[in-house]
Amino acid sequence: MMQWFKRNGWYAAILVSALILPLYVENRYFMQVLNMSCLFAIGALALNLILGCTGQASLAHGGFFAIGAYGVAVMTTSLQWSFWVALPLAALLAAVVGLLVGALALRTRGAYFAIVTLCLGEIIHLVAGNWLAVTGGHNGIMGIPPPDVIPVPFLGAIGFSTLSAQYYLVLSMLLLTLLTMHRLVKSLKGLAFMSIRSNEVLAESLGINSFRTKMTAFAIADFFVALAGGLYASLIGSITPSVASLKITFDFLLFVLLGGVATLAGPVIGAFTIPVLAEWIQFLQDYQMMIYGFLLIIVTIYFPMGLMGGIARIRQKLEKN
């Protein structure tokens, strides 16, 4: 038992703190920031799967986020479907699109793959802004309903109209994503992902189908970032083509790179740190991108594995002393 607490004590403490946090946060605006951070953490974990585990720099991540957002928006407004039906269907749609696009894009490597996915993300952005009949064009889609009430035995109906209820919803989705990513990375398939990242030619010589493996990682990443996009649309209540902008993609990249590539905790830390930092430096809004760029340079030079890598280095030095 003591060994378990030594290994998992910090994680248990963080989980308990996350569960009781709404009891102590009275500021509605800060609660909204926490909700968005949970959503961004899901998307950052998805990007980390394709970038950190297989070494493929996808620049269409914001586009797949938008597919999830628009999928849920259209299904719940125009088609009047339940949120709980629309959310997985929108995520599956993004995964299917990822498979179709990946069949072409993943035949390229390195910078060429990044360029192809960059073009895809821009195409999705243009479609969102010009397909008036479905997306509403640049006006977007308004009046997206919140998640439907869930009847639970012995507890009654659970609604999601309050920020606290929405927080527990996105937190549960984040925990589900973390658990899925952990099981995946620790599996044989996860080892195949990382072998491709390390040396794709060597991995193929050992019998690993690199194309199929990268396709799997790409589709799973697209599924989870679309899941985050669908939650975003339902909780915000309206969306515009800005959800497919290149800025969304670079925000996810920033979360992963600053938090720590190829780690599970890194993208989550980045997704919570950067939005909170952005709120603190709102008075420096004109210089935010300059500050982010400076942070990225510092982390890249001194902590190439991100904040998690820096923490690991500090821990190693303390253990030696």
Q: How far apart are CA 20 and CA 281, in angstroms?
A: 27
Model-level pTM? 0.92
Q: How far apart are CA 129 and CA 127, in angstroms?
A: 5
Q: How far apart are CA 54 and CA 194, in angstroms?
A: 6
Residue pair 295/248 in contact (Cβ under 8 Å)? The answer is: no
> Which of 47-51, 112-116, 147-151, 230-234 is predicted with the least confidence, judged by mean pLDDT?
147-151
pLDDT at residue 154 greater than cutoff 60: yes
CA-based radius of gyration for the chain: 20
- 108, containing H or E segment: none
pLDDT at residue 193 greater than cutoff 70: yes
How distant is the alpha carbon of residue 319 from its chain centre?
Answer: 33
What's residue 89's pLDDT? Answer: 98
pLDDT tens digits, residue range 73-130? 999 999 999 999 999 999 999 999 999 999 989 988 888 999 999 999 999 999 999 9
**Position 232 in a domain:** yes
**Position 276 in a domain:** no
Domain range for 191 is 27-244
What's residue 319's pLDDT? Answer: 66
Q: How far apart are CA 7 and CA 38, in angstroms?
A: 24
What's residue 321's pLDDT? Answer: 62
Q: Which two tokens stand for residue 296?
A: 């990225």
End-to-end CA gap in the chain:
27
**Position 207 in a domain:** yes
In order, the DSSP letters of 170-212 are: HHHHHHHHHHHHHHHHTSHHHHHHHHHHH-HHHHHHTT--HHH
**Position 220 in a domain:** yes
Overall domain count for the chain:
1
**Position 167 in a domain:** yes
Q: Region 37-53: what's the mean pLDDT?
A: 94
**Position 253 in a domain:** no
> Which of 60-64, 96-100, 251-255 is predicted with the least confidence, judged by mean pLDDT?
251-255
**Position 119 in a domain:** yes
**Position 278 in a domain:** no
pLDDT at residue 16 greater than cutoff 80: yes
Q: How far apart are CA 71 and CA 86, in angstroms?
A: 7
Mean pLDDT of the chain: 88
Which band of pLDDT confidence, cut at 50, 70 and 90, is reported for residue 312? Answer: low
